[in-house]
Amino acid sequence: MPKTKKTKVEKGVGKAVKKTIEAVEKEIGKVTHYFDKIGVAVVELADDLGIGSLVRIKGVTTDLKQKIKSMQVEHKEIKKAKKGQAIGIKVDDRVRPGDKVYFAEE
């Protein structure tokens, strides 16, 4: 089959879809560290977050959706975290530094 060149419109479609997805999912933080032995991610928050929130952690090889069951700041359990805090959250699967954290829809 011969190769066909994509037009500017076709090339822009992927970017438009990606921007639409990002608009639906509001970024609330970024993973800065992952402790694999205990399954905990350190997240720097760009928005407030509370226990029970449904989040999506997305990266190059990561795509995880889960409810926040446990959060800690300096080894103390908390129910709510504020923008600017670095928190530890228990995660169901491996995540990587640089992965972004979003509020997710059910």
pTM, full prediction: 0.75
The pLDDT value recorded for residue 105 is 84
Please tell me the CATH code under which domain 26-103 is placed. 2.40.30.10
Strands, E assignment, the chain: 27-35, 40-45, 49-50, 54-58, 63-67, 71-73, 76-77, 80-81, 86-90, 100-103
The ranges assigned to domains in the chain are 26-103
* Cα–Cα distance, 106 to 94 (Å, whole number): 21
Over residues 12-50, the pLDDT tens digits come to 555 655 555 555 678 999 999 999 999 999 999 999 999
For the chain, what is the mean pLDDT? 86
The CA–CA distances, whole Å, from 91 to 10, 13, 23, 34, 40 equal: 37, 33, 24, 9, 6
Among residues 67, 57, 56, which one has the least CA distance to residue 98?
57
